[in-house]
Structure 1
Amino acid sequence: MFHRHTAAACLAAATLSLAGGAHAAAITWTLGPSFGGPLGHQGILTNGTLVEATHLAGVAGQQTVIDPGGLNLTFTSIDSPHFDQFFIDPPNNIGDAGWAHVVSRFEWSLGLDVDAPGFLSGLTVGQTYQLQLFSGRSHANLDARTLSFGDGEGHWSTPIGMAANSFVSVVGTFVADASTQRLLFDDNTNSPTLSAYVLREVAPVSPVPEPGSWALALAGLVAMSVCVRRRP
């Protein structure tokens, strides 16, 4: 009986894995740079190695070059399967022409928050990634709306406001534990939005050694010093 229950549990875990629900790396969230105003494109982070720059635009394959003389970053448009609506914001006077185009076009979900188990794919297990998400509105009368991002493991970003011209990016850092990464979008009116995102490979942050580790290392150095002095 024990083995039968164990086999059933393993089968359930495998089923969750295939559905994308079992693999969701914990994401550390921070608020990123502003991406609004005439120099809004300078709010796009450029550290690490670029993996993808994606524009949720309701179309597939269109490419938009941001700041050709500077960043020279190309966003590729997709029609995301995770959102069911498309919207074009009023003219926003943000960044260069390419960035203004990207920021003013986004996808959203009508009346339902989004749970996207395979939002990111093609990841390398063990690699550290940085995900920068862009969602902001020029449209007025949305001051009460907020948007948060989650990882499915209980970690949520600080809510960002959807008030007119409040363009604050959100940055998530995680170590991939599978080839895909789950992402949750929670809007307080159940209508989450997303314009674009940039995914980059970054170097992991080196942990600060604990006091015990320092003491052990120091003891090792002392022992080596004694051995060297005793050699003929």
Structure 2
Amino acid sequence: MDTVRLFLGVAAARDWHVHQMDVHNVFLHGELTEEVYMKLPHGFHCDDPTKIIPFSAIETMGHMVHVLIYVDDLIISGIEVARNDQGFYLSQRKYVLDIISEMGLLGTKPSPFPMEQNHRLPLSKSPLLTNPERYRRLVGRLIYLAVTRPELSYSVHTLAQFMQCPRHDHWDAAVRVVQFLKSNPGQGILLSNISDLQLNGWCDSDYATCPLTRRSLTGYFVQLGDTPISWKTKKQPTVSRS
């Protein structure tokens, strides 16, 4: 998804035409025993015509065509893309509303923040959930939602640590995240068409935040101009002693 956001960010800055499509017939299953031949598109140059080379751009009729491919898909489903005079706007409003509806929280009051600052969730001694699959499904959906919601990065990182043995406190914390989403289900990211196409990155870390392992958390945020393209919160693999 970092590549997708980067690609659309460049497309917005350079005012490229963007089209979406899906490939239905591809050779993904079974082993081919016969040779498959492919005619190269007009404008594509290859020194050895017997080789099929993966490509990301084709020059044809004086124009450049950029193709972003993920396996057999040329579209990322579930993400709503809107374009106006400011650039591309990525959101998952319908996906958010589906989560809120499935949780039965359409009539609840929205939460002003996704997670308590001093939550102490790793130390929770509350009863284990009798149905952990429900918790895992919700956190999994939140992980996918974080593709267009950078502000969920820390909350999702925290909740994902308890997938094996979730407790009631962990479930309540996950419900709070959904209540936070209710305040603005259409929130997303703007890939601005005003960009110098320069990469800017920020990172920070705390000190021994995890009360169980004494490991620190590192977070980073990368922008292409003013466009957010990559972000993450991750627990460090080692223990800092100073």
- Scaled by the length of structure 2, the TM-score of the pair is 0.21
- Scaled by the length of structure 1, the TM-score of the pair is 0.21
Greater fraction strand: 1
Q: Higher relative CO (CA 8 A, sep ≥ 6), structure 1 or 2?
A: 1
Greater fraction helix: 2
